[in-house]
Amino acid sequence: MKRAVITGASSGIGKAFAERLARDGYDVVLVARRRERLESLATVLRDTYGRRVDVLSADLTSPSDLTLVEQNIRDDSSLELLVNNAGFGKIGAYGDLDLDVEDEEIRLNILALVRLTHAAIPGMVARHRGAIINVSSIVAFLPVPFLATYSATKAYVNSFTEAIHEELKGTGVKIQALCPGRTHTEFHERAGINTKNHPSKGMEPESVVNASLRALQRDKVICVPGITNRVTACIMSLLPRALLRKAAAPRMRKLTAKIARP
Ligand SMILES: NC(=O)c1ccc[n+]([C@@H]2O[C@H](COP(=O)([O-])OP(=O)(O)OC[C@H]3O[C@@H](n4cnc5c(N)ncnc54)[C@H](OP(=O)(O)O)[C@@H]3O)[C@@H](O)[C@H]2O)c1
């Protein structure tokens, strides 16, 4: 028996991970706040793949809920894969954004990921097997104006993951920072991003998951899914940082334009 815990499994990339891993023979634990969504996904996965599916409805920015999920991970002797996927961003000039929401973003994108990674590693190392996928973003490679907190949280995730990757050498445990570009999920609507002005066509979450699992097999620590995203990441690594962030500012400002609602 092998089990995967997926945070943010109620939509988007997390839901695609849950579907794919159940299909690949994993029992899955689905974590997010929207219980009904998780329950209906659980029913589909049980009926379709005959796997054991557990639902953990938790707000990972709440210390008590986070402790419960940590405990669940620590106690799970069959845990093979942890996907730290839950995350969000808010677009806007930093001074105009709601500070409590920025605080919540840091707690979810960084603190929850850091704590759940810590809960998973000792058991995996003791069993000489297992893997952690930390969902980061292509914005991790650049300080992004109008997404200052979000891009900084994802830079943290990359740095943290790359460092632990070296620590885990020889233990049989893998870790990856998955850095998608635009992906068709609920992310942009939640972030307030006007996708009409978005320069990228975007990818489907299933393709992102596919690329991540392929890269994990090769123990690749940074996975940028999709050729267009890889070229973009490569250009970003070659050009001077000051030039890049200057060029990014007017483009990002366009994405802050209010979305007209019917
Ligand atoms: N879509 C993109 O273009 C893109 C690009 C790069 C990176 N990413 C990253 O991909 C990851 C997944 O995002 P997505 O694109 O799939 O967006 P999404 O569809 O909005 O999914 C976000 C998931 O996180 C969960 N979540 C949010 N706040 C939570 C909280 N406080 N506690 C527990 N779960 C919470 C949501 O579930 P509930 O609301 O039910 O709690 C949902 O399942 C994020 O880390 C995001 O930063 C996305």
For 65-93, how does the pLDDT look when each residue is reduced to its tens digit (9 = 90+)?
999 999 999 999 999 999 999 999 999 99
Q: What is the pLDDT of residue 199?
A: 74
Q: Which atom of ligand 1 is nearest to the CA of 109?
A: 45
Q: What is the pLDDT of residue 257?
A: 75
Q: What is the pTM of this model?
A: 0.97
In a domain, 222, yes or no: yes
In a domain, 183, yes or no: yes
Closest CA to ligand 1's atom 7: 137
User: Would residue 49 show up in a list of annotated catalytic residues for this protein?
Assistant: no
The arithmetic mean of pLDDT across residues 182-203, rounded, is 90
If one counts every other C-beta atom within 10 angstroms of the C-beta of residue 99, the result is 10
In a domain, 260, yes or no: no
3-state helix, strand and coil shares in percent for the chain, rounded to the nearest 5: 55, 15, 30
For 105-130, how does the pLDDT look when each residue is reduced to its tens digit (9 = 90+)?
999 999 999 999 999 999 999 999 99
What gap in Å lies between CA 174 and CA 19, rounded to an integer? Answer: 21
For 20-47, how does the pLDDT look when each residue is reduced to its tens digit (9 = 90+)?
999 999 999 999 999 999 999 999 999 9
CA of 88 to the centre of ligand 1 (A): 5
In a domain, 81, yes or no: yes
**Domain with 120 in it: what CATH number?**
3.40.50.720
Pocket of ligand 1 (CB under 6 A): 7-14, 32-34, 37, 59-61, 85-88, 108, 135, 137, 180, 182-183, 185-187, 190
- Structural domain boundaries enclosing 170: 3-255
Total count of domains within the chain:
1
For 207-260, how does the pLDDT look when each residue is reduced to its tens digit (9 = 90+)?
999 999 999 999 999 999 999 999 999 999 999 999 999 999 999 999 997 654
In a domain, 156, yes or no: yes
In a domain, 261, yes or no: no
Answer yes or no: are the C-beta atoms of 173 and 125 closer than 8 Å. Answer: yes
Q: What is the pLDDT of residue 134?
A: 99
Rg (CA), the chain: 18
Q: What is the pLDDT of residue 259?
A: 55
Q: Where are the beta strands (DSSP E) in the chain?
A: 3-7, 27-32, 53-57, 79-84, 130-135, 173-178, 222-223
Q: Which atom of ligand 1 is nearest to the CA of 88?
A: 47
In a domain, 15, yes or no: yes
In a domain, 41, yes or no: yes
Answer yes or no: is pLDDT of 200 > 90: no
